[in-house]
């Protein structure tokens, strides 16, 4: 074992992490913002503090909100920029954190008009205007390229799992190169607000109710503040993701 590999093993062991631990670079609203508080409450969990929260009651909804947000609750309130990945050999969590901090210091903050909408069978927070979608797509692409050298190469099993889905030729190429189909021009920013719901009348009604309820709750929240990013970690396969470290964008860039 090389010195770098030994240091990585020591750092992972200190946190109770292993080589199977996955990291992800996500957008997370500022902790003091209504966007963070409401999103965490909606999913019933604060991935930064670890607190369990009580989801709001939605008038007319046939099932409790918590029964419709099981998958997004495990991942925590976030918008994906760089999807979950294992660290490359010789890369420590602290080295990843340092790289993210350095990258973030070069980025300017911005704000995005956002609203809940249906996304296939999901309900998700989306950019309400193309200018915001474009800014978020560029941010995600820059982050993906920056962190690429720190990501472990996907295994044959991981590649096969990703390719075992209805993908376009371009999406298959992205999976083979980047490990994920929805990057660059295929990227669509979203912050998931529901599980995948069926096309039944009940679930279609639930999607409409969730969309209306979220937009009503956030009517006076203003624009979504994209003032930084966060590293989330999945300690072991299937465990809830936790917000590990935040990284602010350049001071003064939001003025």
Could you report the per-residue pLDDT of 64-91, keeping only the tens digit for each? 999 999 999 999 999 999 999 999 999 9
Per the structure, the complete domain to which residue 72 belongs is given by 3-248
pLDDT score of 190 more than 70: yes
150 occurs within a structural domain: yes
130 occurs within a structural domain: yes
Total domain count for the chain? 1
253 occurs within a structural domain: no
231 occurs within a structural domain: yes
pLDDT score of 34 more than 90: yes
Can you tell me the mean pLDDT for 45-53? 97
144 occurs within a structural domain: yes
88 occurs within a structural domain: yes
Q: What is the pLDDT of residue 16?
A: 78
**The pTM is what?**
0.91
254 occurs within a structural domain: no
pLDDT score of 187 more than 70: yes
Band of pLDDT at residue 161, cut at 50, 70 and 90: confident
Band of pLDDT at residue 251, cut at 50, 70 and 90: low
Q: Kindly write down the DSSP assignment for every residue of the chain, as one continuous string.
A: --HHHHHHHHHHHHTT--TT-EEEEEE---TTSHHHHHHHHHHTB-TTT--B--PPP-TT-SS-GGGG-HHHHHH-S-EEEEEEEPBPTT--HHHHHHHHHHHHHTPPPEEE-EEEEEETTEEEEEESSHHHHHHHHHHHHHHHHHHGGGBPPPPHHHHHHHHSS---HHHHHHHHHHS-SS-GGG----EE-S----SSHHHHHHHHHHHHHHHHHTTTS-SEEE-EEEEEEESSTTSPPEEEEEEEPPTTTT-
Q: What is the pLDDT of residue 15?
A: 65
Q: What is the pLDDT of residue 165?
A: 87
């Amino acid at each position: 074992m090389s010195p770098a590999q030994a240091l990585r093993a020591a750092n992972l062991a200190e946190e109770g992490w292993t080589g199977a631990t996955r990291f992800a670079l996500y957008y997370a609203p500022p902790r003091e913002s209504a966007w963070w508080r409401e999103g965490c409450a909606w999913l019933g969990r604060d991935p930064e503090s670890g607190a369990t929260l009580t989801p709001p009651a939605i008038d007319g909804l046939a099932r409790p909100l918590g029964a419709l947000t099981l998958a997004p609750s495990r991942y925590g309130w976030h918008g994906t920029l760089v999807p979950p990945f294992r660290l490359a050999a010789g890369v420590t969590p602290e080295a990843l954190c340092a790289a993210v901090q350095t990258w973030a210091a070069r980025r300017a903050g911005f704000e995005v008009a956002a609203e809940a909408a249906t996304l296939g069978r999901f309900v998700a927070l989306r950019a309400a205007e193309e200018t915001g979608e474009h800014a978020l797509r560029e941010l995600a692409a820059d982050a993906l390229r920056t962190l690429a050298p720190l990501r472990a190469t996907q295994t044959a099993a991981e590649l096969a799992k990703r390719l075992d889905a209805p993908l376009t030729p371009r999406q298959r190429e992205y999976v083979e190169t980047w490990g994920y189909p929805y990057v660059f021009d295929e990227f669509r920013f979203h912050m998931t607000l529901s599980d995948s719901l069926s096309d039944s009348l009940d679930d279609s009604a639930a999607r409409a109710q969730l969309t209306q309820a979220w937009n009503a709750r956030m009517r006076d929240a203003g624009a979504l503040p994209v003032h930084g990013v966060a590293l989330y970690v999945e300690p072991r396969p299937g465990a809830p993701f936790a917000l590990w470290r935040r990284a602010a964008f350049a001071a003064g860039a939001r003025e």
